Structure 1
């Protein structure tokens, strides 16, 4: 069965997201044996809706579904993007926005073919029975050239017997820790279950080599990796399930999802849907974190605002100019938070996909009650965290005034005119520059010894500084910045809440 005629029908937001087109169905007759193949072709215009759904009528007796696709990639005119087309699939459970019952996998533009059966599935897709009913292959025009995009999708149904049903092996929620302590972890990683080239085994080995205590699995728009992480976690490495939700108006990570939980990505900022999915994440005990909010890639810029989010990823991979800009914007949010009492913590992660990207460059160091999912997430939510270039770097940052002391993410609740001594001890950054930043900007810049560890102290008052945070930079330029970040802390807030001169 080939050359299916194209028929286009618009469908509403309640059915499959705000901007979607559904084509005419690919029909198959029941067959007791062998394979059946159907091919559908189409054209997507420049400026077309975000999603195109191809219904596939799956008859009884099918044990495996395989989908392959391709599209033309002409050289675009100067100033325009070339074609890029993503792909995934929903089963007979439906394609409604947020309808996890129908989701069966997503590979974006990383693969040209995938297969699903009860015994196995291509990474990024969920193994399970191929039940009869209407499935939907979804293609997403990520980028479309002015001349449009011509595509072809081929669906193969097989009734051949498959192996034993897949049995998921999720990671445990607890690893052997050191009690209440600082734990290092990379909360934004990819494997072959989305667009990475590392296997889960290789990612776990990389985390161990980087000296990490925990990682969060954040595959793009799919929960498939959760079924295999139990094989690669261990007493020495906590693996927390998550997802990177890649909308067309920015990416965010969901940290701490129960194994198999899926969060939808098929909306833009104008749809007003983000709050719904952040609530879903919170309802299962997870966190929502804006990822690389100023990254220059198409669709990566964060357009949703930060209301309701639990953290912002201010440092993503090797230090670049867009990280510099994110840190500056985050610092502006701290000024407002210092007065209102609410603030959004910073995290940093590698977003490593493949060699030579380095797992743990950077990573987030959290002060948690133990090495378990709940404790790690609680520490992130509270801002008891700082960001390190590598496990060779360590900092101790605190503030003392009167008889009180406070650490990263805490408040030193003393009167406005109490002298406060801020202390930062650094190892692993010889010759680095320590910068202390407050609501008034950069207040102190001191060089560390060239031959080893160093300690910097600085005195202020809450009237003079509503918060203080620390950076350690190496005086070594990158391709886009005059120096390189080595470590960055969340703030210590100074003064009693609401204790402001204008109150």
Structure 2
């Protein structure tokens, strides 16, 4: 086994002996490497590990220091993963697992692996421990890694069992789903079984497993799907310049994350998501965590997550930005981008299905759901207790639903109609390219029908919002439900 003598950015890596000497001296061999990473170290540091023939299992543990820092200065945070003898090149051929900062140790072998890591052959050659120094304190980051090679029969890797691409469904109908969820296979605390149970309790028809930078969970849902719950596979591609949901990609297909917006590489990986049968959905574009703000632009996106978890000020910013893209579309300058919402639930008390994307699809299948999202036949709700129907009609029987265009003359009357149930204490607003033009309270029961009239001359589109009373001065109330737009005019 050998480790790098020097880490990128000037950080030293020093190997020290420990444990048994190898197969001749025992069943395992342990080595330790320590090093120091200064501020300005590249995003990823790769420490080579020589793996001889006969190794059955690789086990890794690590620590790093966390010195005090001045207020307002990030401290040390260091992620970890591993690549096998196929190397660390972008594209992920050698990728074998990533736990980010969620674990301090992991193992992998042919028949099993720590959640977040891929079971498979432990072949001889040069493997690489991948460190991701997410933030580094002014004093630098000192790491201490122990790698244990355990020798023995290689074992065999069971064939993965992946979820089917369809469930029974109800034919053409509105289906409720949550496409942004985390389990113990990345930085979540819930098992897949627990998530499936919570999804059913939330009234969901489908969910997407979307772990940070790993596909290890794709094989973990055996026995958890059914006629009542479709499970799609995907990944939250977590870069230093924003996160993107690869929604409904083919099982086992890994999408790399090791690039920034300045590298001009995102288009390549967006195409890789689509080749794998997935949708490209930027997640929480204005979240406040380091590295979470979306910097890649929306040209390569299929939809955008405008509502992430309990509705807050960052969602309000994303909503406003998204609404501006609708205005650009009405001027013929860009395609419009459908809005979706997901829970991003990680652990208790996070609520699976808060919010949920409600999709009009031809059936409960991967392709049908993706087609519905791509077309914008979507509304978003904080729970399955809320139901709504949104249409816009003309005086001569013309009719359009969510994501459709109502072709009317510029001065013809258009009547927006929203039927809502399950939203007590809420108000309804109709929003156009001019802004929020009409707001009224629902009856105390939370069930009612609201209508409003305009013309294509006055509104290029209409969308509906259902909101709770305000909780923050200067901001409208938290969202309870919202729709994608109906466009007006002949286009």
Distance 2:484 2:85 in 1: 46
Query: Aligned to 1:158, which of 138, 150, 175?
Result: 150
Structure 2 equivalent of residue 500 of structure 1: none
Does structure 1 residue 399 correspond to structure 2 residue 365?
A: no
Structure 1 equivalent of residue 480 of structure 2: 486
Q: How does 1:365-444 map to 2 (within 5 A)?
A: 365-401=358-394, 402-444=396-438
Shift in Å at residue 160 of structure 1?
Answer: 3.0
How far does the alpha carbon of each residue in 1:432-486 deviate from its partner, in whole angstroms, 9 at most, with x for none? 1101100111111011101241111111111211101010001152699552210
Structure 2 equivalent of residue 472 of structure 1: 466
Structure 2 equivalent of residue 143 of structure 1: 135
- For structure 1, the residue ranges without an aligned partner over 5 or more in a row are 11-19, 498-503
Conserved in 2, the CA contact under 8 Å of 1:218 and 1:243? Answer: yes
Q: How does 1:26-425 map to 2 (within 5 A)?
A: 31=23, 34-98=27-91, 100-161=92-153, 164-340=156-332, 342-401=335-394, 402-425=396-419
SS of residue in 2 equivalent to 1:63: strand
Shift in Å at residue 101 of structure 1?
Answer: 1.9
TM score, norm. by length of structure 1:
0.93
- For structure 2, the residue ranges without an aligned partner over 5 or more in a row are none
Instruction: Identify the range of structure 1 (334-343 vs 426-435) with the bigger mean alpha-carbon deviation.
Output: 334-343
How far does the alpha carbon of each residue in 1:239-259 deviate from its partner, in whole angstroms, 9 at most, with x for none? 010100110011111001110
Conserved in 2, the CA contact under 8 Å of 1:25 and 1:54? Answer: no
SS of residue in 1 equivalent to 2:358: strand
SS of residue in 1 equivalent to 2:353: coil
Does structure 1 residue 454 correspond to structure 2 residue 448?
A: yes
Shift in Å at residue 235 of structure 1?
Answer: 1.2
SS of residue in 2 equivalent to 1:231: coil
Distance 2:403 2:12 in 1: 49
Conserved in 2, the CA contact under 8 Å of 1:393 and 1:426? Answer: yes
Distance 1:111 1:174 in 2: 34
Conserved in 1, the CA contact under 8 Å of 2:11 and 2:37? Answer: no
Conserved in 2, the CA contact under 8 Å of 1:468 and 1:493? Answer: yes
SS of residue in 1 equivalent to 2:490: coil
Structure 1 equivalent of residue 490 of structure 2: 496
What is the aligned length? Answer: 486
Conserved in 2, the CA contact under 8 Å of 1:105 and 1:126? Answer: yes
Shift in Å at residue 9 of structure 1?
Answer: 5.7
Change (3 A) 1:278 1:24: farther
Change (3 A) 1:170 1:5: closer
Distance 2:185 2:431 in 1: 40
Distance 2:11 2:199 in 1: 42
Change (3 A) 1:139 1:324: same
Shift in Å at residue 25 of structure 1?
Answer: 8.9
Shift in Å at residue 403 of structure 1?
Answer: 2.7
Shift in Å at residue 153 of structure 1?
Answer: 1.1
Shift in Å at residue 409 of structure 1?
Answer: 1.0
Conserved in 2, the CA contact under 8 Å of 1:29 and 1:59? Answer: no
Conserved in 2, the CA contact under 8 Å of 1:397 and 1:423? Answer: yes
How far does the alpha carbon of each residue in 1:135-169 deviate from its partner, in whole angstroms, 9 at most, with x for none? 11100011111111100111110013466533311
Shift in Å at residue 414 of structure 1?
Answer: 2.2
